[in-house]
Amino acid sequence: MLRHDYPGQVCSIAKALEVVGERWSLLIVRDVMNRRRRFDELQAGLGIARNVLSARLQRLVDEDILERRAYQANPERYEYFLTEKGLDLWPALVALLHWGDRHSPVPNGPPMLIVHKECGGRVSDRGTCESCGQVLHARDAQALPGPGLETAPRETEAVAAR
């Protein structure tokens, strides 16, 4: 197994990667932001092995990025919700989404669009509304299907809390 720390690195990016830099971690956060909150929903949507998903979820809970809430007692079943620390990842995910759209485009356009809930304007890679100029937070935006959704590979969901 690969290490997930960066000894000797006095760097905020390295410290952030120690927490969310493992494969699947940001995609799990993305899916929780898009209301996939149950283990089976996450596993089916991501196509990730159950043991890997379980380990990643536990790490995100341990790091206070996700919160686990029971929705069923017998057998115990949980939903995952973003904490404030988890919601603070939204600008980074929006920037990555736009970077991917720009540098690995889908033929018919972006598979998903992030829009400002209040005015419907598109959200820029900097997290501002291109229509009204407001600086946005995760709860201010929503993901909508984009023109490239039909031609996109299986996993093309954008990042937005609804």
Note the pLDDT tens digit of each residue in 88-146.
Answer: 999 999 999 999 999 999 889 999 999 999 999 999 999 999 999 999 999 999 999 89
What pTM, to 2 d.p., does this model score?
0.85
| 60 has pLDDT over 50 | yes
For the record, the structure tokens of 16 come out as: 């952030």
Nearest Cα to Cα of residue 138 among 94, 80, 100, 79? 94
Q: What is the pLDDT of residue 141?
A: 96
Strands (E), 36-153: 66-72, 77-82, 112-116, 141-145
Domains of the chain: 12-86 (1.10.10.10), 89-151 (no CATH)
Q: What is the pLDDT of residues 70-100, one digit of tens each?
A: 999 999 999 999 999 999 999 999 999 999 9
